[in-house]
Amino acid sequence: MSAVENEVLSESRVKPNLYCRYVDDILVEVSDMSSLQRLKARLEEVSGLSFTVEESVANKISFLDVSIDAASGNFTTSVYRKPTDNERCLNGGSECPQRYKDGVVRAYVHRALRHCSSWPLVHQELQRIKQVLVNNDYDLTTIDQQIQSIVNNHINKGSQTTSNEGNVISLYYKSQMTSGYRAEESALKNIIRRNCKPVHPEDRIKISIYYQSPTTTSLIMKNNMANDKSPLKQSNLVYHFKCNKGDCALLPSSGYIGLTTTTLSRRLTMHLQSGGPQQHTQTEHQTLLTRREIVDNTSILARASDWRRLAALEAIMIREKDPAINRQINARGTLQLYEGRRLT
DNA sequence: TTGACTCCAGTGCATGAGGA
DNA sequence: TCCTCATGCACTGGAGTCAA
CA dist A85 and A65 (Å) reads 12
On whether the CB atoms of residues A293 and A284 are closer than 8 A, the answer is no
pLDDT at position A228 is 42
Output the CA–CA distances (angstroms, integers) from residue A168 to A165, A190, A205, A207, A208, in the order listed: 9, 18, 6, 10, 12
Mean of all residue pLDDT scores within chain A? 73
pLDDT at position A175 is 61
Between CA A176 and C1' B3 the distance (Å) reads 29
pLDDT at position A300 is 79
Q: Label the pairing between strands A298-303 and A168-175.
A: unpaired
On whether the CB atoms of residues A244 and A313 are closer than 8 A, the answer is no
On whether the CB atoms of residues A78 and A115 are closer than 8 A, the answer is yes
Give the other-Cβ count within 10 Å of A28's Cβ.
17
- Greater pLDDT, A56 or A293: A56
Between CA A301 and C1' B4 the distance (Å) reads 36
In angstroms and rounded to an integer, the radius of gyration of the C-alpha atoms of chain A is 32
Residue A226 has pLDDT above 60, yes or no: no
Strand B, nucleotides covered by protein (CB < 7 Å): 7-11
Between CA A308 and C1' C15 the distance (Å) reads 15
Residue nearest to nucleotide C10 (CA to C1'): A273
CA dist A238 and A261 (Å) reads 9
Mean local confidence (pLDDT), A253-275:
72
Residue A296 has pLDDT above 60, yes or no: yes
CB of A265 under 7 A from strand C? Answer: yes
Q: Which of A78, A61, A168, A164 is nearest to A119 (CA)?
A: A78
* Complete edge-to-edge strand list for the sheet that includes strand A255-260: A255-260, A237-242, A298-303
A342: the nucleotide nearest its CA (via C1') is C18
Residues 300-339 of A with CB under 7 A from strand C: 330-331, 336-337, 339
A240, amino acid identity: H
Highest mean pLDDT of the ranges A60-64, A191-195, A271-275: A60-64
Mean local confidence (pLDDT), A17-35:
83
Mean local confidence (pLDDT), A214-230:
40
CB of A272 under 7 A from strand C? Answer: yes
pLDDT digits (tens, 9 = 90+) for A117-163: 888 899 999 999 999 888 888 888 888 888 888 888 888 775 554 45
A214: the nucleotide nearest its CA (via C1') is B10
Confidence at A270, pLDDT banded by 50, 70, 90: low
Confidence at A336, pLDDT banded by 50, 70, 90: very low
Between CA A161 and C1' B5 the distance (Å) reads 69
Between CA A270 and C1' B17 the distance (Å) reads 20
- A44-58, A83-97, A268-282, range with the lowest pLDDT: A268-282
pLDDT at position A143 is 87
Residue A214 has pLDDT above 50, yes or no: no
pLDDT at position A41 is 86
Confidence at A20, pLDDT banded by 50, 70, 90: confident
CB of A163 under 7 A from strand C? Answer: no
A99's CB contacts (< 8 A; 6+ apart) are: none
